[in-house]
Amino acid sequence: MNSVRTRGGDSKITAAFYREMILATLRALADGKITAEEMAVAEDTRKDAIRYAPGFGPVPLAVHVPHPYTIDALAKFLGAVRDDGHATEDFKAAFSALELIEEGFRVGPCTCCAGTAFEPTRI
């Protein structure tokens, strides 16, 4: 499925748009344009669920990075949550695709990413 129903409306968001929103938001978080309060990580969050902007994966605990977030916090910030407050499946799928791309799991050219930040020449 390439589109999802967003919380509070009938507008459709494509997977490509989710990926662009995620990238832009993580860049803004890493640049300090989004505060820790705006994308808060609960104190009781499992350490393996914490990720660090602008990346998509967890950073070893020995490394201090000042821009932590969780997938659910990112989804909440972007309004892509289910009624229970957790990220929608489509949002998690888009995030996972970015994580795999960052880790180098892309095989061959991706025609669906042409003209986006995910185009092979832009990564």
Higher local confidence (pLDDT), 111 or 22: 22
The mean pLDDT value for 97-123 works out to: 64
User: Is 108 strand, coil or helix?
Assistant: coil
The 10 Å CB-count burial string (b at 16+, else e) for 58-70 is eeeeeeeeebbbb
pLDDT of residue 26: 93
Residue 69 has phi, psi (to 5 degrees) of -160, 170
The answer to whether 14 and 4 have CB atoms below 8 angstroms apart is no
- Residue showing tokens 């009624």: 83
Report the pLDDT value the prediction gives residue 71, as an integer from 0 to 100.
95
Q: What does the domain layout of the chain look like in residue ranges? A: 3-113
C-alpha to C-alpha distance for 72 and 77, rounded to whole angstroms: 9
Tell me, what's the pLDDT at 114? Answer: 59
- What's the pLDDT at 4? 45
pLDDT exceeds cutoff 50 at 66: yes
Burial of 104 (0-12, 13-18, 19+ CB in 10 A): exposed
